[in-house]
Amino acid sequence: MSDPNETDLSALAETPEEAAAEAQQAELDAREAVGADLDDDGENVIAEEEGIS
């Protein structure tokens, strides 16, 4: 028999859509952090030069 005070952990699970959105945001954050090619112009310039930060 289950304990009525036990927390339902199924509510903590991510949906595939949430996981994909989180992964995409993490990639964007990482690219910005390392100064990746944020405007896709072929030049890898840091965020400060792009006026983003």
Rounded mean pLDDT, 3-14? 78
- b/e burial code for range 17-51 (CB count within 10 A of at least 16 → b): eeeeeeeeeeeeeeeeeebeebeeeeeeeeeeeee
Structure confidence at residue 42 as a pLDDT band (50, 70, 90): low
Residue 19 has pLDDT above 80, yes or no: yes
The confidence score (pLDDT) of residue 37 equals: 58
**CA–CA distance, 50 with 3 (Å, rounded to integer):** 56
